[in-house]
């Protein structure tokens, strides 16, 4: 079994040189070279020897190694074929790790969980996600209603702040609502760009998402709810009345929009960033009933 930890500058460089590996910018590859940060992630991720872990984009195996030490079973999705022989080498001796050469965006994750993990086993997703594709991956994980307890991800600091933001904050927007509809979101640590090889252009944060059993609000139609939320933030400086009038053009006129806002008990001169999730739910449900008539 590997005795030298992978996540150090020296060991990472040795592995890259051994295989003549070159980073692909198009895949957003930045490898973590700080063991302390990985151990800190493990402390927060709630993983023990009863749990299973899924990793997205294992790279050369720095985080995978830590997951293998702490979890019962680890599944890692890697899209870059060049990394498969490297992972076979670096994770040698960890019998509880399985690397799948698949694109997470196209994978049937539920089926994979059923195939590889024990029934009723707690499943945690842990990943250092490529910045360019963070939101599509996360929204896929959340919308598929997977049997997962938590998602702990290292992502761009600014995006983590948006996902965990509360109303009346400049970071708060449709992404905050989308993520918090499915999870309780908390930024657990900030990570400087200097602990990556190569260093990215921005700092990162680790975001802990605890999956909710049920959404915190009752909505009649989820698609309409998210549509109303997105419309409300379409032009942040514009009022709700203006944004919603534009969104529902051809369905409701300006007077009807004003009437529906009043029915929902919401002042149309407010901006989207001032509404909490319950207010958005009331608004969306009011529009839903008007559309059903």
- Are 64 and 58 in contact by the 8 Å Cβ rule? The answer is yes
Secondary structure class of 24 (helix, strand, coil): coil
Stated length of the chain: 293
Alpha carbons 45 and 152: distance in angstroms, whole number:
6
Residues 198 and 133 in one domain: yes
Per-residue model confidence as pLDDT tens digits over 111-166: 999 999 999 899 999 999 988 899 999 999 999 999 999 999 999 999 999 999 99
Select from 173, 189, 211 the last residue of a domain: 211
Indicate the pTM of the whole model: 0.93
Select from 168, 189, 211 the last residue of a domain: 211
pLDDT for 148 equals 97
pLDDT for 2 equals 44
Select from 190, 211, 232 the last residue of a domain: 211
203 labelled as ligand-binding? no
Residues 242 and 202 in one domain: no
Task: Report yes or no on 71 lying in a domain.
Answer: yes
Count of domains for the chain: 2
168 labelled as ligand-binding? no
Q: What are phi and psi of 124, to 5 degrees?
A: -125, 140
78 labelled as ligand-binding? yes
Written as six digits, the tokens of 10 are 């020296």
Per-residue model confidence as pLDDT tens digits over 234-292: 999 999 999 999 999 999 999 999 999 999 999 999 999 999 999 999 999 999 999 98
145 labelled as ligand-binding? no
36 labelled as ligand-binding? no
pLDDT band at 293 (very low <50, low <70, confident <90, very high): confident
Domain CATH code at residue 246? 1.10.8.100
Residues 85 and 130 in one domain: yes
Q: What is the DSSP track for 218-287? A: --S-HHHHHHHHHHHTSSTTS-HHHHHHHHTTTTS-HHHHHHHHHHTT--TTS-GGG--HHHHHHHHHHH
Q: Which of 155, 157, 177, 179 is nearest to 167 (CA)?
A: 177
169 labelled as ligand-binding? no
Task: Report yes or no on 277 lying in a domain.
Answer: yes
Per-residue model confidence as pLDDT tens digits over 49-90: 999 999 999 999 999 999 999 999 999 999 999 999 999 999
| Structural domain boundaries, residue 248 | 222-292
Task: Report yes or no on 96 lying in a domain.
Answer: yes
Task: Report yes or no on 1 lying in a domain.
Answer: no
List Cβ neighbours of 119 (8 Å cut-off, separation of 6 or more).
none
């Amino acid at each position: 079994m590997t005795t030298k930890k992978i996540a150090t500058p020296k060991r990472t460089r040795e592995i890259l040189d051994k295989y003549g590996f070159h980073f692909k910018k198009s895949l957003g590859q930045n490898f973590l070279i700080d063991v302390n940060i990985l151990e800190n992630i493990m402390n927060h991720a709630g993983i023990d020897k009863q749990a299973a872990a899924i990793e997205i984009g294992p790279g050369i195996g720095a985080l995978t190694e830590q997951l293998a030490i702490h979890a019962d079973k680890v599944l890692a999705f890697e899209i870059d074929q060049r990394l498969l022989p490297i992972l076979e080498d670096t994770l040698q001796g960890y019998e509880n790790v399985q690397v799948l050469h698949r694109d997470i965006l196209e994978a049937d994750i539920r089926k994979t969980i059923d195939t590889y993990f024990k029934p009723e086993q707690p499943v945690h997703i842990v990943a250092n996600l490529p910045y360019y594709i963070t939101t599509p991956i996360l929204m896929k994980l959340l919308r598929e209603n997977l049997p997962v307890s938590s998602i702990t991800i290292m992502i761009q600091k600014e995006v983590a702040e948006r996902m965990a933001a509360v109303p009346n904050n400049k970071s708060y927007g449709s992404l905050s609502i989308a993520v918090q509809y499915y999870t309780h979101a908390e930024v657990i640590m900030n990570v400087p760009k200097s602990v990556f090889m190569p260093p990215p252009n921005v700092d990162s944060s680790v975001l802990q998402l605890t999956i909710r059993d049920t959404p915190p609000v009752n909505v009649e139609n989820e698609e309409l709810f998210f549509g109303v939320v997105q419309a409300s933030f379409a032009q942040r400086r514009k009022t709700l009345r203006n944004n919603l009038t534009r969104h529902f053009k051809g369905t409701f006129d300006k007077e009807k929009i004003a009437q529906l806002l009043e029915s929902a008990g919401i002042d149309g001169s407010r901006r989207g960033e001032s509404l909490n999730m319950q207010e958005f739910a009331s608004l969306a449900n009011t529009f839903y009933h008007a559309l059903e008539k």
